Amino acid sequence: MGAKPGGLLVADGLAEIATASARDLPRVSLPVLRGVPLLANLSDRHLRKVAKLVMPVRFDAGAAIVREGSQGHSFFVILEGRATVVRRGARPATLRPGEYFGEMALLDRRPRSATVMAETELSALRISADAFGKLLRSEPSIAVSLLETLSVRVRELERLSV
């Protein structure tokens, strides 16, 4: 689960995304995607390629966006609204605009580790794991960048657990 509030960057991005045509959506999604740590180190060219995979989605309040145990096949960045993350044995957490979930599904498509419910009406950007996988196969340097980012994150977690 992600945890980087987007603040003004997301608010500005929301205004542009709300009025963007389908053709312009990748361009206006760039600042929002740049705020996702997994994608933050990609070159501008590669981030533009990822942005072309973005689809806007909306959920009604109370809707289950993903369910714990179901196969992960999408990544989401919240644009508007709030979501609640429920994980067995953990306190519920709230996700707000600029925060994200499902980033590991882009890479491993394994079962979801939590249920995410729309607490309010919610709009988000969605990236499909299938489309992302095709992009990684056509642009291996994106995969290398993601591996480097994940390696740094694992090292940080190891350092914190000592």
Residue reference for tokens 């740590």: 37
Question: Is residue 1 in a domain?
Answer: no
The CATH number covering residue 18 comes to 2.60.120.10
For residues 135 and 53, what is the distance between their CA atoms, to the nearest angstrom? 9
> Are the C-beta atoms of 5 and 32 separated by less than 8 Å?
no
**Helix or strand or coil: residue 80?**
strand
Under 8 Å between Cβ of 55 and 126: yes
pLDDT over 60 at 12, yes or no: no
Rounded Cα–Cα distance for residues 104 and 38 (Å): 9
Least confident of 77-81, 97-101, 102-106, 143-147: 102-106
What average pLDDT does the segment 12-36 reach? 63
What is the number of domains present in the chain?
A: 1
Tell me if 22 is assigned to some domain. Answer: yes
What does pLDDT average to over the chain? 83
Kindly report whether the global pTM for this prediction surpasses the value 0.75.
yes
pLDDT digits (tens, 9 = 90+) for 138-159: 999 999 998 898 888 888 878 8
Report residue 55 CA to chain centroid gap: 12
Residue 1's pLDDT is 44
Supply the range of the domain harboring residue 35. 7-157
- 2 within some domain: no
Please provide the size of the chain in residues: 162
